Structure 1
């Protein structure tokens, strides 16, 4: 059969994402803080994008409010002037009376210092200043600067301090740290650093404050803290226990500890309370105190007709297109400049449209969640209903991936607090003859029962299972109770009993 050239027509469908759609998906996935950063970056590079000023009606309302307040102050002043002067009981100071000082000198908090601008609005009082935070690295470096170390010890100590994490522990093995150190510092005739040198300097760094810093394990950190204490009988016993049988302490094997060290109940209680005073994370005292900023995308308010979900208008500034450049483009003859203006205009409109689309999607998803989990906002976690992404996607006619992007790192501000939208999703546990229960609700019931239990007689998983079925008509297996309890970092009943016995 001879091969001959020919034409063939194939019909098919192919999905392609346009740049505008890709940007819309990316903006939907961003958190509110990331959207703010994107807006700031675009404002620096795109001259067509601008922040809209206050609307005229809002400005008129503000000016009207100010005029009303000024008029009220004027009426109060006039009414005060019209009152008759009581000569016998008049304690007011004559305005023409000479005074030996000015009011600005008395109320110095409201005036600027002599070496600063005289405008009071430019003065910042002392209580508005905040002190700089000292990090663990800065604190250790300051101690190194005051320590009598030679040059080689300073280099080794600097590498060790840089490797200490925020909790106060070394992050790298000494052998790996030594290899990196020799690669960076060994030059010329200077001898290479040895592991013995590094270990000797580590011992010196471990004497810095806070006690227990620079340890390679929890066991070593506790021993360092005990070594800094006065050598009392129970301190010696605690060091011996942690050094020789640290596993017994980790597993709360108190019977073996009592038998091996010949302790009675009172002595064991004193020993364990001493160990509980130690800090398992010695670097936490220098950790940053500023919490991560969370900007809610949605706000939930109670209205006469029920719950009202609305977008947080303060999350982003109002964006618009600069009309001046559009008029300028129509008068330019240069095609290159017109092309650049059109590109900037397309980018600006695309960003504005993507942010609007993001808000509409979040509003739809948030409204469905609030309508579904209305019991949570009324009663709490015990009224949480099971909810999965598929239900929201089917109801809103959207893809599950879109719902996932719209709930990840998106927050809603409610009367009960600020929650991530993902918080309201949980799997359902099947119940016989009744509606499925949310895993979040079951965890809340378990936690409430454990919080109300007798510390001397903690509730076992089997007892929790019976109480859930009797009091709340929730039927779950004992292994499910254990799984939820471990997920909430709650020890077993036997461990809780031991912890309550030796609790400070």
Structure 2
């Protein structure tokens, strides 16, 4: 059968997301800080959008009495008169206030006078520049040390091996090691290490008294973490007390010397998207609208649309009007959807608001979506990266969607963790509960849970085993 070209007409159904729907989905997913940034960008790009002034007070020109309007007009006239007087003075004295360029050239700029201690790379580079002449570093040593500084991670550890550095820079490994030792003498102590053992070893000079077997002690860090003091003592030929003393000395050292320069862990402030208020034993949802500016379409451009004959301008104005109206509609739709979803969540999780995390009930997004009458993915967008301010504190919305544990359909993982912390807090530290004993305590309260599940949640809470809890008991 011969192949040929031809035209075939087919009718198919396809789901096409229009720009308006895509914008609505995007705005629905944005948290409040991101929404404010999005609105600011739209205000800069769309000249027809404007912020309604005095929205928070809800005041309109008709609200002012006639006498107050007259007083305002008089004040405006006085302000204009004062502005004209000040302008004349400024013009007369302009020559006297002009700064002589000679002094500008001789002055030293303030910027860059002080070292920015919030950047590890800049901090080390400044130290390298400072010792460049006094240590008589060669150009190669300087460039190698600078390359090493640029390959340190946020904790101050070297991310490349000596062999890899030698291959990249096309120099010998001895030359790399020489430059590395220069960097390792910089502040903070321990910077430039290739592993934890080397990092701690570089900080030994800081210890008031360093035991002779301290370096060998670093070979047993894994045993130290689980509390095998006798095993370490036998390996080093010292007493158990000496092992504990060396462990206390290690606590004086910093395993992450570069972490204090890492700004990724800075405090990030949360703006809740909604607030829950309790009034007469009832909870009400208040969506945060105080931070969101009220938008409207500029009437001047609407008039331009009716009067201008230029088709290009009319088309541009029409597109911007439609874009602005769609944005206003999307913001209102976001507000109403968040309100409806949170109302259903609060209705289901009222016990949590009354009694705390242990009263949190299993809840899925599908259950909320069916009641509100929206798709499950819309509930997911409403919950994404958003927080809610409740009488019990600020929580992410997603924390209200909790799954059940195995056969216990009415028990959540959060409740298991809360009860687990309570049991361990009440135990006798000289006879701590084993995971099996904890499972039996849950069984007495009517919750059937396996020992391995107890161990899983205990590890998630970073609670040590009963053996380690007994060793740390004082």
Distance in 2, matches of 1:218 and 1:63, equals: 71
Using the TM superposition, give the Cα deviation of residue 500 of structure 1 relative to its aligned residue in structure 2, in angstroms. 4.5
Using the TM superposition, give the Cα deviation of residue 499 of structure 1 relative to its aligned residue in structure 2, in angstroms. 4.3
Distance in 1, matches of 2:294 and 2:165, equals: 51
Distance in 1, matches of 2:419 and 2:181, equals: 49
Compute the TM-score of the two structures, normalised by the length of structure 1. Answer: 0.76
Could you list the per-position Cα deviations for residues 111-141 of structure 1 after superposition, in whole angstroms to 9, with x for gaps in the alignment?
xxxx9xxxxxxxxxxxxxxx97633233322
SS at match of 1:436: strand
- Do the aligned residues in 2 keep the contact of 1:296 with 1:418 (CA within 8 Å)? yes
Alignment correspondent of 2:28: 28
- Do the aligned residues in 2 keep the contact of 1:296 with 1:315 (CA within 8 Å)? no
Alignment correspondent of 1:445: 419
Distance in 2, matches of 1:22 and 1:369, equals: 26
- Do the aligned residues in 2 keep the contact of 1:238 with 1:275 (CA within 8 Å)? no
- Do the aligned residues in 1 keep the contact of 2:274 with 2:286 (CA within 8 Å)? yes
Structure 1 residues 179 and 362, CA, compared in 2 at 3 Å: closer, same or farther? farther
Alignment correspondent of 1:377: 353
- Do the aligned residues in 2 keep the contact of 1:430 with 1:436 (CA within 8 Å)? no
The more displaced of 311-320 and 448-457 is 448-457
Alignment correspondent of 2:145: 157
Could you list the per-position Cα deviations for residues 131-181 of structure 1 after superposition, in whole angstroms to 9, with x for gaps in the alignment?
97633233322322222333322222222222222222223334444555x
Alignment correspondent of 1:48: 48
Distance in 2, matches of 1:251 and 1:441, equals: 28
Alignment correspondent of 1:254: 229
Distance in 2, matches of 1:302 and 1:38, equals: 32
1:52-71 matches, within 5 Å, as 52-55=52-55, 58-59=58-59
Distance in 2, matches of 1:344 and 1:176, equals: 55
Distance in 2, matches of 1:308 and 1:322, equals: 35
2:399 paired residue among 402, 408, 423 = 423
2:464 paired residue among 467, 471, 491 = 491
Alignment correspondent of 2:324: 348
SS at match of 1:143: helix
Using the TM superposition, give the Cα deviation of residue 443 of structure 1 relative to its aligned residue in structure 2, in angstroms. 0.8
Using the TM superposition, give the Cα deviation of residue 490 of structure 1 relative to its aligned residue in structure 2, in angstroms. 2.1
1:294 paired residue among 270, 274, 277 = 270
The alignment status of 1:330 with 2:314, answered yes or no, reads no
Distance in 2, matches of 1:197 and 1:58, equals: 72
Q: Number of matched residues? A: 418
Could you list the per-position Cα deviations for residues 260-298 of structure 1 after superposition, in whole angstroms to 9, with x for gaps in the alignment?
223334323212211222222222233337412322111
- Do the aligned residues in 1 keep the contact of 2:33 with 2:271 (CA within 8 Å)? yes
Alpha-carbon RMSD: 3.0
Alignment correspondent of 2:249: 274
Could you list the per-position Cα deviations for residues 305-350 of structure 1 after superposition, in whole angstroms to 9, with x for gaps in the alignment?
5111111113321111111111111110100000000111111111
- Do the aligned residues in 2 keep the contact of 1:174 with 1:195 (CA within 8 Å)? yes
Distance in 1, matches of 2:378 and 2:153, equals: 37
Alignment correspondent of 1:226: 204
Alignment correspondent of 1:467: 441
1:182-193 matches, within 5 Å, as 182=169, 192-193=170-171
- Do the aligned residues in 1 keep the contact of 2:191 with 2:257 (CA within 8 Å)? yes
The alignment status of 1:146 with 2:130, answered yes or no, reads yes
Distance in 2, matches of 1:406 and 1:279, equals: 42
1:208 paired residue among 180, 186, 194 = 186
The more displaced of 248-257 and 411-420 is 248-257
Distance in 2, matches of 1:140 and 1:153, equals: 15
The alignment status of 1:388 with 2:368, answered yes or no, reads no
The more displaced of 490-499 and 209-218 is 490-499
Using the TM superposition, give the Cα deviation of residue 411 of structure 1 relative to its aligned residue in structure 2, in angstroms. 0.9
1:353-368 matches, within 5 Å, as 353-368=329-344
Using the TM superposition, give the Cα deviation of residue 23 of structure 1 relative to its aligned residue in structure 2, in angstroms. 0.9
Could you list the per-position Cα deviations for residues 363-392 of structure 1 after superposition, in whole angstroms to 9, with x for gaps in the alignment?
112122222222222221111111122211
Distance in 1, matches of 2:57 and 2:271, equals: 27
Compute the TM-score of the two structures, normalised by the length of structure 2. Answer: 0.80
The more displaced of 144-153 and 307-316 is 144-153
Structure 1 residues 252 and 47, CA, compared in 2 at 3 Å: closer, same or farther? same
Alignment correspondent of 1:120: none
Alignment correspondent of 1:167: 155
Using the TM superposition, give the Cα deviation of residue 216 of structure 1 relative to its aligned residue in structure 2, in angstroms. 1.8
Distance in 1, matches of 2:165 and 2:32, equals: 40
Distance in 2, matches of 1:63 and 1:413, equals: 36
Alignment correspondent of 2:455: 482
SS at match of 1:146: helix
Alignment correspondent of 2:173: 195
The more displaced of 456-465 and 192-201 is 192-201
